[in-house]
Chains A and B, each alone.
Chain A
């Protein structure tokens, strides 16, 4: 038992060790290259905090972060709601799969970034094209995963529903959806990371505010500390999304061990 506890402790310490190693090598590297092309952690932190004294485009770092978050959450909300609904339709109805499903299949392989020029042409550089882009980038994973999750339902569970007198809607609600929930979640996870990537790509072209803008701006004026700072915040928020989704999963699916 002692051995068992020791082993477990190692697995908890190792991640901390590797992160510390990363930060240390960062510091070392930036010192070695003179600190300008690759600022060390201290200068990055200082640069970020400076936005409170001297806002960029009228906002502090918090303001920019919130703008990016607002965009991605709006886009994700639209794509998840539509993705799950269409996924349910396509997954449970063969006719719809053959019509609507095939139609959508034409658009799936198009990389979201390829849409950028078209979006700008049609909708300009306001908020709408950015949100649309996020939707385009995050719709398919959640829709496809929902559809496949629906089709994964065991026949015997459907029989149970039928035998105990369930209407089609009841069976969908009580049996099919919960079975599909793990797949739906997996789709949402992919969608979230896709959406987050796309918002930054979108912001790098014609945004007035946002983390993507900070990256572009910093790059433009050789302010690498700003670039690195924005990138790190982007990564951190991505990780936060993952973590929150995992917690939500555990809460909503207590039967999944």
Chain B
């Protein structure tokens, strides 16, 4: 008997068109997919088209041209405490320390200093930044900054964590390390994760399911469930086979 999984997020026929003076630019075209409770879902697509806009529509910082988004069964269009986000580029506030950045969401929720610092300390420790609470972002390496971003997103205890190519700007070795660590964090505290990347290897390493997007305008090309046990071996023949299978279906956007 298959376990009936709850759909945490439902996206139906989502589209986004940017209108300019005399032209229009379709970025997301009729995208539909589901996200199940507690799964690690990866949205994989070639560089530079539509993925970030799609995420921004999910989280509510971008309006939709058409389509529906349901979060936890209800229609959604604005940012809500059920969702939080980790960004690719530098999104830590440069004038705040690590602790002040991590506590931002809780501060906005008007939680008292003592309890909120306790919560944040837990997550700062969880991502391996113990001792750096009072450092400023510019004092940290790229990998450490991303870890702080993850702690900040976790601290508000969201149901759904959206991650927008968080390791894109890191070098290959740091990236592998962060992927491993992310899975470890996810094992300790399960969340529904929607992870966006343009790196097929990363997608196959992390995902329970991969949704392959086309190049601009983005629409769903294929869905790949990945059933290998975690943590996965990058050199495992089955891993490489799956990679190749996905590669042949990926668009090349020159």
Contacts and interface: CB of A to CB of B under 8 A. Distances in A.
Interface of A: 156-157, 159-167, 170, 174-175, 178-179, 181, 253-255, 257
Contact of A166 (B56, B80, B89, B108): B108
Contact of B91 (A160, A165, A181, A255): A160
B89 A167 contact: no
Contacts of B108: 161, 164-167, 170, 174
Nearest to A166: B108
Contacts, number: 61
Given A157-B91, A255-B94, A255-B95, A163 B138 contact: no
A232 to B, nearest CB: 39
B81 interface: yes
A253 B138 CA distance: 13
Interface string B203-232: 000000000000000000000000000000
A163 B104 CA distance: 11
Contacts of B94: 255
A162 to B, nearest CB: 5
B241 to A, nearest CB: 38
Chain A interface secondary structure, helix, strand, loop or mixed? helix
A170 B95 CA distance: 15
B109 interface: yes
29 contacts: A156-B89, A156-B91, A157-B91, A159-B91, A160-B87, A160-B104, A161-B104, A161-B108, A162-B61, A163-B59, A163-B60, A163-B61, A163-B84, A163-B85, A164-B104, A164-B108, A164-B152, A165-B156, A166-B104, A170-B108, A174-B104, A174-B107, A174-B108, A178-B96, A179-B95, A255-B94, A255-B95, A255-B138, A257-B138
B166 interface: no
B79 interface: yes
Given A164-B108, A170-B108, A255-B136, A175 B59 contact: no
Nearest to B156: A164
B138 A164 contact: no
B109 A165 contact: yes
Interface residues of B, number: 27
A181 to B, nearest CB: 7
A164 B95 CA distance: 17
Interface string B134-178: 001110000000000000100010000000000000000000000
Contacts of A254: 136
Interface string B82-109: 0111010101011110000000110111
B123 to A, nearest CB: 14
Nearest to A257: B138
Nearest to A164: B105
B79 A162 contact: yes
A181 B105 contact: no
Contacts of B83: 163
B63 to A, nearest CB: 13
A254 to B, nearest CB: 7
Given A164-B84, A164-B105, A159 B61 contact: yes
Contacts of A160: 87, 91, 93, 104
Which of the listed residues A156, A167, A253, A254 has the most CB atoms from chain B within 10 Å of its own CB?
A: A156
A164 B79 CA distance: 8
Contacts of B79: 162-163, 165
Nearest to B94: A255
A156 B93 contact: no
A160 B104 CA distance: 9
Contacts of B87: 156, 160
A160 B107 CA distance: 13
B93 A178 contact: yes
Query: Which of B61, B79, B95 gathers most chain A CB within 10 Å?
Result: B95
Contacts of A167: 108
A167 B78 CA distance: 13
Given A160-B104, A164-B152, 15 more contacts: A157-B91, A159-B56, A162-B79, A163-B59, A163-B61, A164-B108, A165-B79, A165-B80, A165-B81, A165-B156, A170-B107, A170-B108, A174-B104, A178-B93, A255-B94
- With most chain B CB atoms within 10 A of its CB, the pick from A161, A163, A178, A181 is A163
